[in-house]
Every structure is written in C-alpha cells, then in structure tokens.
Amino acid sequence: MSRKPVALALLTLGAMALTACKSNTVALNGAGSTFVNPVMTRWVQEFSQSHPNIQINYQSIGSGAGVQQVKAGTVDFGASDAPLTDSALAAMQPVIQIPESAGPVCITYNLPGLTQPLQLSPESLAGIFLGTIKTWQDPRITADNPGVTLPKQNIAVVHRADGSGTTNAFTTYLSAISQDWQTKVGKGNSVSWPVGLGGKGSEGVTGQLRQSPGAIGYVELTYAQQNNLPVAKIKNQAGNYIAPTAQSTTSAINAFTDALSKDPRTPIVNPPAHAGDAYPISTLTFLIIPKDGTDKDKRAALKSFIQYIIGDGQSVSGTLNYAPLPDGVKQYDLQQLNQLTAGGQPLQ
C-alpha cells in the first residue's frame, strides 16, 4: 500500500475522531448575578478540568436579567442573590432554586488620604443613601470614627442601575434598620434611589467609584479587592464594627440556622445581638434551574455541575471571600436536585 492512501486514511480517521469528540461535547449556558461571578468563574474552570466534554458559559448580567432568561428558556440555569418569591415562582415554568454560596455585600468608598477602614453605623449608612447625610464631616459619621480626620468633601452615592440581587440584599438590610428607608424606598432588585449615580453590574459600580473621589457604593468583596478599593466596617446589633469577610458571613448564617432549615430564602441581614462577630449585610446566593428539559445529556451534565458546586466547589468559595454552605443547606440542595428530570423522567 502506498504512503499516500495511508496518509489519507489516517487523516480521515482523525477527522472522524474529532467529529465524534465534538458530538459528545455538552454545552451549558447560565446567566445572572454579578455578585457570584468571581466564584462561578473559578467553579467553571475547576469543573472543566475534570469534565472536558462539558462546556459552561456564564454571563454576568445581573440577577434580574438572569431570572428573565430562565423564564424565557434561553439559558440552562440562572443565578440570583435574591430568591424568587412564591408569586414569582407561580408566574413561570417549574424551577428549583437552591443556595450555592453566601457572601458579604461590602460598602466600599473612594476617600484618598484615609489610612484606616471607615466605620459606619446603620443610622449613618441609611442617612447617606437616603441623601440626608451629605458630607463626610457630618457629625453622625465623625461619631462613628473618633480621632479620624475625614475629608471636607461632599458624598457621592453610587448604586446599581440594573435589576440586582445585590441591591435586594442591601435594601433588605436598609429596610430592616431604618423605618424611613422602609417607608420611602423599600426593598427589591430595583428601587427608586433617592440620590446617586447608577452603574451597570458590580463592574459598573466599581468603575464609577474608582473615578469619583468622595464616592461610596456597594459591591461584592472580590470586586472591591480587585479594584484596590477599601471596605467599611459596619456596626452590628451587638455594637461591634465588623469587616466583611467569609468568616463574618458564616457567623451571620449561623445566627439564622433554625430559620434557614425551614426556608433557605430567609434573609441573613442584621443578625441578632448574640451574633457578636457577624457582618450585618450578608446574603445567600441562589441557582435557579428549570425542573425539566428535553435533552437528557445536557440535563445530566447540569446536575453533575451543580453537585460539584454543592460539594467540592464549596472549598473553592472560601478562597474567594465567600462563605461555604452549612451542612443543613447542602442537604436541602441535594434533595432539590433529585427533582430534576429530562422529558419528565428522573435523572440517574
């Protein structure tokens, strides 16, 4: 046999193998929370190393937009920092929603020359975002920061412009600690902000903050660190000023153990005074997954990815400032995952 036919045969076999390999690849698409994007990116990277035939694309477009894409059926899963209410669940095809991580909503700021972390009481924070506290030398802020020289500068508030679960968590906190906020603004993925400039996504908020001396806003901790922005210590119900960390978020989760065992949608903001080391603006984040789908291979791959997140992926969370899920919540998640079906049939 001549070399030419052999080479042609080998090329043909290689092409057939490549085609077969591609045909076995499963592509999953997700979208939603910018808050969870740093750890989601790592989860995808880690999972893909051991599952090369499963390709996962996650779009960090905000919780509200992610929920809408799940509702429209254009993604395989969504992520939101705010769980769906019963009425929202009733308005869409059956889904399961499970907590997959938790983290602090950080208050970050741009105050050149301030060499120690800013401290803020609940009253000061609510006043800033209500627009009733307008300067950094307001007596309420100086009382939170004894011995600290604050700048003679107006406060520039930066908030999310898009529908955001991070906004939901932050405004849930403000509603819990301020009757004025609860009455005038309330809580939700989107609210009518009394003051401030909007940024799209956590990326947009950090971008506005970096270029605006005197600004203050709220983001996930990794975004603040990646942009070299400081984060404030917030006074909790025990009277302690607490920095946002994975550990202080875990303390907040532990303060709500009983309530979370009954309903994982329970907010974990403003923990009671006995949780002395708990950060007061923390949130669980959620995956929102259609219960059924037509593609059995895709559904099996999706279940495998979510099982990884709940299991080994939790150790990854702690390296990126997220708090690992407690065992009770992980057990709840696994029970919910068993409800996933393909063409109405249970997944193996």
Question: What are the pLDDT digits (tens) for 310-325?
Answer: 999 999 998 888 999 9
Burial class (CB in 10 A: 0-12, 13-18, 19+), 107: buried
Strand 241-242 with 233-235, pairing: antiparallel
> Using an 8 Å Cβ cutoff, are 235 and 122 in contact?
yes
What structural domains does the chain harbor? 26-103+284-346 (3.40.190.10), 104-282 (3.40.190.10)
Beta strands across the sheet bearing 241-242: 119-120, 233-235, 241-242
Q: Is the pLDDT at 4 greater than 70, yes or no?
A: no
How confident is the model at residue 340, as a pLDDT? 97
CA dist 229 and 236 (Å) reads 22
Question: Which amino acid does the sequence have at 189?
Answer: N
Tokens at 114, concatenated: 């301030």
How confident is the model at residue 202, as a pLDDT? 87
For residue 13, count other CB atoms closer than 10 A to its CB.
Answer: 10
pLDDT in tens, 328-339: 889 999 999 999
Residue of 98, 24, 15 lying closest to 265 (CA atoms):
98
Tokens at 213, concatenated: 């001396």
How confident is the model at residue 80, as a pLDDT? 93
Q: Is the pLDDT at 205 greater than 80, yes or no?
A: yes
> Using an 8 Å Cβ cutoff, are 38 and 201 in contact?
no
CA dist 202 and 224 (Å) reads 9
> Using an 8 Å Cβ cutoff, are 334 and 311 in contact?
no
pLDDT in tens, 103-142: 999 999 999 989 899 999 999 999 999 999 999 999 999 9
Q: Is the pLDDT at 218 greater than 70, yes or no?
A: yes
CA dist 338 and 291 (Å) reads 10
CA 89 to chain centre: 20
Confidence of residue 203 (pLDDT cuts 50, 70, 90): confident
CA dist 110 and 132 (Å) reads 19
The partner residues of 204 in beta bridges, in order of sequence, read none
| φ and ψ at residue 233, rounded to 5 degrees | -90, 135
Confidence of residue 23 (pLDDT cuts 50, 70, 90): low
Strand ranges (DSSP E) for 139-263? 156-160, 197-199, 215-220, 233-235, 241-242
CA dist 341 and 96 (Å) reads 11
**Cβ neighbours of residue 290 under 8 Å, at least 6 residues apart?**
70, 73, 76, 77, 93, 94, 95
Q: What is the mean pLDDT of the chain?
A: 91
Q: Is the pLDDT at 71 greater than 80, yes or no?
A: yes
Percent of the chain with pLDDT over 70: 93
CA dist 231 and 205 (Å) reads 14
How confident is the model at residue 257, as a pLDDT? 87
Q: Is the pLDDT at 5 greater than 80, yes or no?
A: no
Confidence of residue 8 (pLDDT cuts 50, 70, 90): very low
pLDDT in tens, 268-281: 999 999 999 999 99
Residue of 311, 307, 314 lying closest to 338 (CA atoms):
307
- Select the highest-mean-pLDDT range: 3-12, 22-31, 273-282: 273-282
> Using an 8 Å Cβ cutoff, are 80 and 63 in contact?
yes
> What does the radius of gyration of the chain's CA atoms come to, in whole angstroms?
23
Q: Is the pLDDT at 226 greater than 80, yes or no?
A: yes
DSSP code per residue over 42-67? HHHHHHHHH-TTEEEEEEE--HHHHH
What is the rounded (10 degree) CA torsion for 221, 132, 183, 202? -20
Q: Is the pLDDT at 49 greater than 70, yes or no?
A: yes
The partner residues of 106 in beta bridges, in order of sequence, read 219
